[in-house]
Chains A and B, each alone.
Chain A
Amino acid sequence: MQKNSSSIILTSRIRLARNINGFPFPEWASSEDQTQVKAIVKKALQNLPSSFTYKELARAKESERNLLVEQNILSGHFVKDHLQAKAFAYNAKGLSIMVNEEDHLRLAIQQQGLMLEETWPVLDKLDTSLSEKIEYAFSQDSGFTTACPSNVGTGMRVSVMIHLPALCLEGKIGPMITALSESHITVRGLFGEGSMALGHIFQISNLNTLGISEEETILYLQKVAKSLERREKLARKNILSKKRTNLEDKVSRAIGTLKFAYLLSYEEALAHLSIIILGQSLGLAANLKPLKNLAILSTQLRDGHLRQQKGKRRSISLESLRAEKVRVIIG
């Protein structure tokens, strides 16, 4: 599933918002309604072609919930409160389902690289199978009805996570974001709304769910992601030919910091890894072992994942553990 994987386009994600006819949306549903919704979804998931691990959110340990949030399988909002009302399911194909999030069902699929055309049929098939067993809230005029009008219609949000360090260094990211906003594309930093773009990682997603079909949304996002990838490659070549010494300086400083730091915050680690990966893509830092996809690193270095690796070393701080882990990564 990695044929389109590149160091610039990190991950692709598609999610569908669905609700069950006859029930209030989760925000306004009684606990009896919420329990019934969970039971309907649990029953519908049985006897599907691909099997799912189904779990009540309240039965998942806090550490498991945090890991799933960091892996983008659950949303931060989902694990915040009312755990009893919620459930989730996932499988090995990268499919995941949240029950009683903002909508009754949030179906999603996530893969590394630009994999929208490949993953959409898989998610579409799950959605169609569920729609045979569950009567979705749907109207012929407005499509799938959702708790928030921003999702009504296809209920589809297609997101691509993309690494754009050269465009950031060249100062071209601001005008580019403005242009994308005018083209009905939402641009966010790595961790969603309002956050800074940590590690020069951006998430682009469609804004519209009416007036555009699922296939058109996917093709549009794919086109935008490829165009950004081309611009980033051009910016990288430009930096190498015109500002090589500056870039070598930045890369070497990043290596130095990561090699010798004893304490690393997540933000600092990601910022330096981003610059080293940029350098490696241009043939610099050849004495280091090639770094993995930044999407994988950005997950592995988060607090929840590090906490899992503490083992018996309970007193070690996360910053210290992160610095240790980064030293191993860069070799």
Chain B
Amino acid sequence: METFFCQNCGENPANLWVTKIMDGQVTKQHLCDECFRKLSGYSLPFTLALPLNIMNPLMNITDAIQPVKTAKFKVCKNCCTSWSDFLQTGSLGCPQCYQSFSKYLQPIIEDIHSSFTYKGKVPKRLPDGVRIKASLKHLKQKLFKSIDEENYEEAARLRDEIQALKKQLDHACQDAKK
């Protein structure tokens, strides 16, 4: 298997692909943990937990790290986990952390997945409004796909299903208001 060596010390195997953006100038380097710490002044134990295997298309570390100075003491109100807790362990504290740290998580998520759009299944048990909205989104994606594939019979069936769900959503919203 191909091994990249650190472009700073040239001795240790590199396990980080670091992109620096300074004054509009973009530089990219393969670095080992030790040199990354020396050069950036940040400790990065969370690299152990995130998929930063050198074979992966790697995340842009500086994008994730740049906001750290200001975010260091940012805490999720729901679970009290801080952003620096996440950086140390690689684990967020609770599902609400995604909202609490959305500004800092966005570049990480974009680098890993190259997308923000969820296209998967919807679990059965959810609060009514969330379930219906998620199902609507899922069905609309399927509708566009079936139109692309010129499967109009399926598209008509999906359209009817979407209309029925929209009615359910209206009822759920009215019930919530009451």
Contact = CB atoms under 8 A, between A and B. Distances in A.
Residue of B57, B133, B137 contacting most chain A CB atoms (<10 Å)? B57
Contacts of B121: 124, 127-128, 154, 213-214
B20 to A, nearest CB: 21
Contacts of A208: 112-115
A135 B126 contact: yes
A186 B89 CA distance: 22
Interface in B75-124: 79, 81, 85, 89-95, 98, 105, 108-109, 112-124
A32 interface: no
B92 A213 contact: no
B141 to A, nearest CB: 8
Contacts of A216: 119
Given A154-B120, A194-B53, A210 B125 contact: no
Interface residues of B, number: 44
Which of under 10, 10 to 19, 20 to 34, or 35 or more describes the interface residues of A? 35 or more
Interface stretch (A110-118, A141-149, A251-259, A274-282): A141-149
A131 B124 CA distance: 5
Given A136-B123, A210-B118, A148 B91 contact: yes
Interface string A152-185: 1110100000000000000001100110011010
Contacts of B164: none
Interface string B1-14: 11000000000000
B91 A181 contact: no
Interface string A124-144: 100110011111111111111
B156 interface: no
Interface stretch (A19-27, A81-89, A294-302): A19-27
B126 A138 contact: yes
A330 B37 CA distance: 50
A142 B98 contact: yes
A21 B118 CA distance: 18
A20 to B, nearest CB: 9
Contacts, number: 155
B130 interface: yes
A260 interface: no
Contact of A210 (B57, B85, B116, B137): B116
Contacts of B56: 181, 186, 207
The DSSP consensus for interface residues of chain B is loop
A197 interface: yes
Nearest to A187: B55
Interface string B118-161: 11111111100010011001000100000000000000000000
Given A28-B91, A28-B94, A124-B121, A181 B51 contact: no
Nearest to A77: B49
What 4 A-B pairs come out closest when comparing CB atoms? Answer: A211-B115, A131-B123, A27-B91, A143-B118
29 contacts: A24-B93, A25-B93, A27-B91, A28-B91, A128-B121, A135-B125, A136-B123, A138-B122, A139-B95, A140-B118, A142-B98, A142-B109, A148-B50, A149-B108, A150-B112, A152-B113, A153-B113, A177-B1, A189-B1, A194-B53, A207-B112, A207-B113, A208-B113, A208-B115, A210-B115, A211-B117, A212-B115, A213-B121, A213-B141
Given A24-B79, A28-B94, 13 more contacts: A25-B91, A28-B91, A127-B123, A138-B134, A141-B116, A150-B112, A178-B2, A181-B57, A184-B114, A208-B114, A210-B117, A211-B117, A212-B119
Interface of B: 1-2, 15, 49-51, 53, 55-57, 79, 81, 85, 89-95, 98, 105, 108-109, 112-126, 130, 133-134, 137, 141
